């Protein structure tokens, strides 16, 4: 598979997982310590089935890891550290700032020309 395609898939996976407020809340909660699916479901006032779906999406994006011991599945923060996503956002921000700087310079030039 092409590197660019893999990169785009990883970005899509992470941004898709992070697009939901509940999933961002789950990551925030797991940042304070591991929790079972039942504990997460209770904390978010959600059914076990609903929570399992959210955890699966986070797990597929490698933002969460789970381990099963008996009947209990425990969740923890996953191995992904979002460096690629942060670099993408940084690149986009620099690009946007450059365009805004260019617009500002244009407006200054046109303002000076009218005076």
DSSP assigned state of 33: -
pLDDT at 26: 98
pLDDT tens track, the chain, 115 positions: 566 567 788 889 999 999 999 999 999 999 999 999 999 999 999 999 999 999 999 999 999 999 999 999 999 999 888 888 888 888 888 988 888 888 888 888 888 776 6
Angle at 30 between CA 6 and CA 24, to 5 degrees: 60
pLDDT at 5: 61
CA 62 vs. chain centroid, Å, equals 11
The end-to-end CA distance of the chain, in Å, is 58
Q: What is the CATH code of the structural domain delimited by 1-80?
A: 1.10.10.10
Distance (Å, rounded) from C-alpha 49 to C-alpha 3? Answer: 35
pLDDT at 95: 86
Cβ(55)–Cβ(61) below 8 Å: no
pLDDT at 115: 60
Distance (Å, rounded) from C-alpha 26 to C-alpha 31? Answer: 8
């Amino acid at each position: 598979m092409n590197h660019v395609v893999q990169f785009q898939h990883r970005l899509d996976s992470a941004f898709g997982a992070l697009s939901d407020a509940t999933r961002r809340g789950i990551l925030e909660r797991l940042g304070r310590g591991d929790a079972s699916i039942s504990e997460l479901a209770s904390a978010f006032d959600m059914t076990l089935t609903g929570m399992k779906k959210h955890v699966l999406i986070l797990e597929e994006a490698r933002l969460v890891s789970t381990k099963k011991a008996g009947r209990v599945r425990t969740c923890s923060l996953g191995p992904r550290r979002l460096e690629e996503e942060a670099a993408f956002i940084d690149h986009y921000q620099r690009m946007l700032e450059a365009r805004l700087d260019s617009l500002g310079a244009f407006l200054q030039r046109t303002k000076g020309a009218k005076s």
